[in-house]
Amino acid sequence: MFAGMTAVPLRAVLIVVPLAGLAAGFAARMLGAAEWSGPLWAASAVPVLIVLIAEIWTSLREGKFGLDIVAALSMSAALIFGEHLAAAIVALMYAGGQYLESFAERRARREMSALLSRVPRTAMCYRDGGLEEVAIDAIVPGDRLLIRRGDVVPVDGQVANGLAVLDQSALTGEALPVQMQAGDAVLSGVTNVGEVFDLSVSRRAAESTYAAIVRLVEAAQGSRAPMVRIADRFALVFLAVTIVMAGGAWFLTGDPIRAVAVLVVATPCPLILAVPVAIVAGLSRAARHGILVKSGGALEMMARVRALVIDKTGTLTSGEARVTAVRVAGRLSADEILRLAGSLDQASKHVVAQTLVAYARGRGFPLALPTNVTETPGEGIEGEIEGRRVVVGGRRFVAAKVQAIPRTAQPRRHSTPGVVTVSVACDGVTVGEIVLADELRTEAAMLLASLRRFGVDRIVLATGDRQDVAAKVASGLDIDAVRAELSPDQKVLVVLSERKNGPVMMVGDGVNDAPALAAADVGLAMGARGAAASAEAADVVLLVDQIDRIAPAISIARRSRRIALESVVAGIGLSVGGMMAAAFGYLTPVQGALFQEVIDVAVILNALRALRGHAFVHAETPELEGLPKAGLSAAPNNPRSSAGPVPAHPSANGRSAHRG
């Protein structure tokens, strides 16, 4: 609402000065020194007026126009014509409104600090025969980096040696990690989920993929149209009405005090105070639901969203591989297959092995101690479990370790896009397969239905993942269009193209979503597990990993905006009535200021209703359960699934990192 925002400490001082001046002036009167009251009130209003004029000048130079001008006119006129008490009251109201907005912005910055701490700033570099932790900017092409498990790759390069297992979901949208061998290109921004490997640097940090995405974010933020606040939309008309009424009263009566009274009553307190109160109340209520809204403008814009562009991996889907079925092909039950695989995989650090172990433990299976274990990195593992020889890994790896089995007993090949299978053999015979997939969130369909009820007319799925995987996810959902295999700049184009349907909200979690989040009218990031770059670029951050919080976020925004508008309409209506009374001489400037205070109290009490409302019930995100029991050889029926060959993603180099 106010352009040229000053520092937070100055805003706090701006409240203290008029408040202290008012108290000192009234104290002087009570002590018999009434002649000091006026100067004390005037002195307390002048600093606020100086700051206000400076902000108005800055705003006008930037081509912005707001209601600050009315407040400046009323304070100036009151000081010029000796209505010092009225000037001090107006100064206090203005300073209070500014501080409310600074409070919301300060809280949002505090909440973001933890999210942004995940951005890589240093790397382990081989220097002088040893390892040295160096700043990212000091890395040059030809350097050799040690990429540890869990590290985000800081610059572009190639795998120098070893086998790299990388989570590329933040860049490509592909949920399942991929396997890279020596010489394969690695992009900055991906995460090492496998063993330690060496990276040969090919580009400086400023020239790498991650840096290019940051530049896209900056360009998108610079090109985005500024948010138009509720108060500013009333500014021009209200200013014109105020000047006409004040000037007319002075011209027709010859009494400048009537013009001052009109200006004081016209001080847009319902906008200066009621709108920030309603918006800050909405921000506070959203925060209680795990929704961090960074500014009042973002909350207002979220209430007007008409189009949604949503990412797939980590947003509509869980973003990680989960066990979805066990396919039985032999004498062992599904539970026993899971127990044996989980027991053997305790000896492996592979990302899929860890998923199977965690799932088996979650099911309550008693895991046995593996012995005589041999692991082939990226392919599979074999060892003994309770005296039985068990092999777990990709189909080819397991097939090479076991005897041929009748075709009718072989597990049916699972060819659904985005799915990985792990074969299991026991005592030389394949006994089944475990199916893993990045599944659709259980609350996704309900969320999209809720958004339709909130007036979202257009929903587009935009992902960097393959077309077949995206189509499978969108099948059965209320989605109008699917855009797949998108680069970060192409996602920005999708957002811009949807603007014709109204204000656009972009929802994402990866580094590749950050430019689109910045370009959208409202960017919403999944902050619980998403990339720091996306959280930084977004206007709204979900602090919990549940997309069903988007519906309450929009509901809170709509209600807060509606209450703010109610306060504005009621307050401005009463102000116009008071202005007319002042123009006809029924209100003095001080009486007008007091009348405006009564209006303030009424509209602020109404605005505080944004803190209350019906409780939201969120659909929890339960762990997958209900695996097929013994004898069941197929995955649970899914009407949205589609069969077909799974083409290799270009970034996977034709290999799977899931031993399948």
pLDDT single digits (tens) 573-597: 888 888 888 888 888 888 877 787 7
DSSP 3-state of 156: coil
**pLDDT at residue 273, rounded to an integer:** 65
| Mean pLDDT value of segment 404-429 | 64
| Mean pLDDT value of segment 261-272 | 71
HEC secondary structure over 158-218: EEEECCEEEECHHHHCCCCCEEECCCCEECCCCEECCCCEEEEECCCHHHCHHHHHHHHHH
**pLDDT at residue 658, rounded to an integer:** 43
| Mean pLDDT value of segment 69-97 | 81
1 confidence band (pLDDT: 50, 70, 90)? very low
In eight-state DSSP terms, residue 507 is E
177 confidence band (pLDDT: 50, 70, 90)? confident
| Residue extent(s) of CATH 2.70.150.10 domains in the chain | 122-219
| Residue extent(s) of CATH 3.40.50.1000 domains in the chain | 300-318+441-552
| Cα–Cα distance list, 230 to 96, 109, 334 (Å) | 18, 23, 60
**In whole angstroms, what is the distance from residue 577 CA to residue 656 CA?**
73
**In whole angstroms, what is the distance from residue 27 CA to residue 18 CA?**
14
**pLDDT at residue 94, rounded to an integer:** 76
Region of poorest pLDDT, from 307-321, 327-341, 410-424, 477-491: 410-424
DSSP 3-state of 481: strand
> In this predicted model, which residue has the larger pLDDT, 531 or 382?
382
| Mean pLDDT rounded to a whole number for the chain | 77
The answer to whether residue 190 scores a pLDDT higher than 60 is yes
Classified by CATH at the fold level, domain 322-437+624-652 comes out as: Calcium-transporting ATPase, cytoplasmic domain N (3.40.1110)
**pLDDT at residue 403, rounded to an integer:** 62
N- to C-terminal Cα distance for the chain?
A: 56
**pLDDT at residue 481, rounded to an integer:** 93
Residues of the chain above pLDDT 70, percent: 76
77 confidence band (pLDDT: 50, 70, 90)? confident
Region of poorest pLDDT, from 158-162, 356-360, 381-385, 534-538: 534-538
Which positions are catalytic? 311
**pLDDT at residue 389, rounded to an integer:** 93
Region of poorest pLDDT, from 31-40, 130-139, 220-229, 511-520: 220-229
DSSP-H helix ranges across 289-344: 296-302, 334-344
Contacts with 30 (C-beta within 8 Å, 6 or more apart), sequence order: none
**CATH for 300-318+441-552?**
3.40.50.1000
Contact 375, 346 (CB under 8 A): no
C-alpha dihedral (555, 556, 557, 561), degrees to nearest 10: 110
Contact 326, 414 (CB under 8 A): no
**pLDDT at residue 107, rounded to an integer:** 53
| Mean pLDDT value of segment 189-194 | 83
| Residue extent(s) of CATH 3.40.1110.10 domains in the chain | 322-437+624-652
Number of Cβ within a 10 Å radius of residue 517: 34
Region of poorest pLDDT, from 96-110, 227-241, 591-605: 96-110
**In whole angstroms, what is the distance from residue 50 CA to residue 55 CA?**
9
**pLDDT at residue 418, rounded to an integer:** 58
Q: Would you state the structure tokens that stand for residue 347, as one six-digit string? A: 């000896």
| pLDDT tens figures, 436-468 | 887 788 888 888 999 999 889 999 999 888 888
**pLDDT at residue 268, rounded to an integer:** 63
Classified by CATH at the fold level, domain 122-219 comes out as: 2.70.150
DSSP 3-state of 308: strand
